[in-house]
Amino acid sequence: MAVNSPLPVAADLKPIAGIRLGFAQAGIKKPNRKDVLVMALAPTATVAGVFTTNRFCAAPVQVCKAHLDALHMSDAPIRALVVNTGNANAGTGDAGLAAANATCSALAELLECEPAQILPFSTGVILEPLPVDKLIAGLPAALECLSENNWYAAAEAIMTTDTQPKAASSYVVINGIPVTMTGISKGAGMIKPNMATMLGYLAMDAKVSQSVLEHMVKQAADQSFNCITIDGDTSTNDSFMLIATGASELEITEIDSPEYLALATAVNALSQKLAHMIIRDGEGATKFISIAVEEGRDLEECRKIAYSIAHSPLVKTAFFASDPNLGRILAAIGYAGVNDLDVSKLDMYLDEVLVAKSGGRNPDYREEDGQRVMQQSEITIRVKLGRGEAKTTVWTCDLSHDYVSINADYRS
């Protein structure tokens, strides 16, 4: 059960002119489940992405990066994205790279384009060889059912340990021209060192130049997918892709324009929603936790402290237990690596409850107030550093028995 996150409604997912989606049951890991997704793009489309910073990045991520880099030296646009579940094709060495390239070649042949015009993605178990023959054998079926209306099925096709598909749409009217956007995502949650992936795909019908789209995807990720964490592990396959199909009349070629701002605001909001869906469906999650760090000297120290709290297993299990053992949060702030932090200026709130004031326990704080907030399903921790204007928010979930069960059982 995802935390306060109703199932998406298929009819609410808007088709985006210029992108068609098809899926197949290729039997990559298990039979009778959708495990291949193809997103076919109009030739007018631009694509940009951000990827995992994990040094062991998976073979398909390496191929994606190479094909996106090649866009700067070529006029041949990306024509399709292909995603498989059931196997991450990571930690698979040269054979893995060959498998990713073979996937691109096979799809390119079917779509009559070049392999470099394909972006491959994989998610699932790592350190196991990708059954690339099965994947390739599934491609014709995926192409056969290509449709603009397959977003819900697409969201299902990329699920792994997710308990429900994640998808949403929105639109914005800019200069009288409507832009629609639909995105899908999948979670998340892993126990080191070898599991899971976060994937996000957001498509819109605006026309956006490649360099502008690259800027837009980075700032969107920085306010959404880069601000969530289940367990602090960065997977080998994490990717967030922004697609502008160019089917709408709205064209964005400059970052310093009101049109860019309007579009980026809408993209950020939808990205955030897709990112939150991942947290709400985090493995075993029972609580959705926002961690706001304010009054920092710079963004970096705010992020350090927010992630230090978000990643602390002591903090996360206390949230699961609804135990206001809030000294654990102060401890996580203390070891966050902000060396000149003056804790005597620090205030900490749990929702509206002022727990710590000027670095110590607020004299008016009552255990029962903290206890009450800890029992909620949605909780905000707010830390005020009292030394500047910078701020950030990071979202996470608690750490439950089920998290352990799910991950212990993942390969069975």
| Residues at the contact surface with a copy of itself, assessed by CB under 8 A | 4-6, 9, 11-12, 14-15, 171-173, 176, 178-180, 322, 349, 351-354, 372, 375-378
DSSP string, 94-131: HHHHHHHHHHHHHHHHHHTS-GGGEEEEEBS-SSS---
Tell me the C-alpha distance between 378 and 279, whole Å: 12
Nearest residue (CB) to a copy of itself, 15 versus 49: 15
Name which of 279, 271, 371, 291 is nearest 336 in CA terms. Answer: 291
Nearest residue (CB) to a copy of itself, 4 versus 74: 4
Backbone angles phi, psi at 49, to 5 degrees: -150, 165
**Residue 254, annotated ligand binder?**
no
Nearest residue (CB) to a copy of itself, 194 versus 248: 248
Closest approach of Cβ 320 to a copy of itself, in Å?
Answer: 13
Nearest residue (CB) to a copy of itself, 213 versus 373: 373
Closest approach of Cβ 11 to a copy of itself, in Å?
Answer: 4
**Residue 286, annotated ligand binder?**
no
Closest approach of Cβ 69 to a copy of itself, in Å?
Answer: 34
Annotated catalytic residue within 180, 197, 245, 286:
197
Helix (H) or strand (E) holding 387: none
Sign of the dihedral through C-alpha 278, 284, 288, 290: negative
Catalytic: 197? Answer: yes
How many other C-beta atoms can be found within 10 angstroms of the C-beta atom of residue 212? 21
Nearest residue (CB) to a copy of itself, 8 versus 131: 8
Tell me the C-alpha distance between 253 and 243, whole Å: 15
* 202 HSE (CA, 13 A, CB side): 35
Closest approach of Cβ 221 to a copy of itself, in Å?
Answer: 24
How many other C-beta atoms can be found within 10 angstroms of the C-beta atom of residue 308? 23
Closest approach of Cβ 305 to a copy of itself, in Å?
Answer: 19
Residues 6+ apart with CB under 8 A from 110: 139, 140, 143
Nearest residue (CB) to a copy of itself, 129 versus 178: 178
For residue 254, which amino acid is it?
E
**Helices and strands, counts by H and E, the chain:** 11, 18
Residues 6+ apart with CB under 8 A from 300: none
**Residue 214, annotated ligand binder?**
no
Closest approach of Cβ 350 to a copy of itself, in Å?
Answer: 10
- Please work out, in degrees rounded to the nearest 5, the angle formed at the alpha carbon of residue 254 by the alpha carbons of 248 and 260: 60
Tell me the C-alpha distance between 83 and 348, whole Å: 43
**Residue 160, annotated ligand binder?**
yes
Annotated binding site for substrate: 160, 186, 197, 283, 407, 412
Annotated binding site: 160, 186, 197, 283, 407, 412
Residues with catalytic roles: 197
